[in-house]
Structure 1
C-alpha cells in the first residue's frame, strides 16, 4: 500500500475508533489528526473537506457491518426467512453497540451528497441482498419485494433508534429489542 493510502486509512481508522467513545460531534479534523499523530493540516491532503472525512469514516462502518453480515450468513441455513432474521438481529445489535457510528452512517447530509462523498451506494448492496431474500421468502405476496424490504428496513431502523434512545424500554419495560424485531418480521413476512 502506498504511504499516502496508509495514512488515509489510518485517519479513517482513528476516526472510527474515536466514535467508540465519543459522539460524531467529536470528529473534528484537528482531533483525528492529533490522535493519528500527524499535523492538523495532514488530513486535508486526503480529505479536502470535513464531510469527505466523515463520509470515509461512515463508509468504514458500512463495510464493518457488511463483513459481520457476510460472516453470519455463511453459517446460517439457506432458508431466506432465517437469513432475513439474522440480518435484522445484526442490524439492531450493530446500532446498539456502535451508536455513534450508526448515527454517522445515516446522517442525511452524507447520504444525499453526490460523488465520492455520498453514502447512498454504501448501503445499497445490503438493501439489494435483503430485497433478494424477501423475494425468496415471499414469492407470491403481491407486494414488490423492494417495497417489503424497504418497510422492514424502515421498521428495523426505527426500532434501533427508539431502543438506543431508551424510548422502547420506557414505553414497554422491555429489556431486549429482539422481540420488536420478531414482531416486525412477522408483520411484513407472515408468521415464521
Structure 2
C-alpha cells in the first residue's frame, strides 16, 4: 500500500470518527492529525487547507449515504412509490443517526469551496430520486419535483433535529409527516 494514500485515508477516517464522537466543532487539523497518529503538519501533504480535509470527510459521508440508499433499494422489488419512501427514510435516518456528518455534508462553505467537487457528490442520489419520481408520476420536469421533495425531506430532518417537529406535531414520529410530504409531491397513494 502506498504510504501517502494510507495517510490520506487515515486522516479521513480519523476525521469521521472524531465527527461521530465529538461533533463538527472538534474537527481541527491538529486534532485530526493527533487521532491519526501523525504530526500536525502531516495533513498538509494531502490537504492544503482545512476546508479540503473537511471536504474529504464530507465526501465520505456522501459515500456512506449512497451505500445505505443502495442497500435499502437492493431488497425485494417494491413499487416505485415504496422505493421513494425507502429512499426518504434512509435520508432521514442518516440525518438523525449521523447528525454531525449530515451538518458537515451540507455546509455552504464546503459546498462552495470546490474541493473534491463536493457539491456534485450528491448528484447520483438526486438523479435516482428524479428517476423514481419520473416513474411514479407523469411530470414534464421531474427534477423540479425531486428538488421540492428533497427540500421538504431536508427541512423535516432539520426540524426533527432542532426539536421543532415535536413542538408543532406533539410527536417525534416522522411517519405521518413523511406520508404527507410524499402525498404532497407525488399525489395520493393508489
TM-score (norm 2): 0.95
CA distance in 2, matches of 1:76, 1:27: 39
Asked whether 1:180 is paired with 2:177, we answer yes
CA distance in 1, matches of 2:85, 2:111: 25
TM-score (norm 1): 0.94
Instruction: Tell me what 2:123 maps to.
Output: 124
CA distance in 2, matches of 1:76, 1:32: 41
Instruction: Tell me what 2:104 maps to.
Output: 104
Alignment of structure 1 residues 12-161 onto 2, 5 Å: 12-114=12-114, 116-138=115-137, 140-141=138-139, 143-161=140-158
Q: Is the 8 A contact 1:110 1:117 kept in 2?
A: no
Counterparts in 2 of 1:21 and 1:178: CA distance versus 1, 3 Å: farther
Q: Is the 8 A contact 2:51 2:113 kept in 1?
A: no
Name structure 2 gaps, 5 residues minimum.
none
Deviations 1:115-136 (A, max 9, x none): x444111100000010001000
Name structure 1 gaps, 5 residues minimum.
none
How far is 1:76 from its partner? 4.2
> How big is the alpha-carbon RMSD for the aligned residues of Structure 1 and Structure 2?
1.2
Give the SS at the match of 2:22.
coil
Q: Is the 8 A contact 1:58 1:104 kept in 2?
A: yes
Q: Is the 8 A contact 1:110 1:118 kept in 2?
A: no
Q: Is the 8 A contact 2:92 2:153 kept in 1?
A: yes
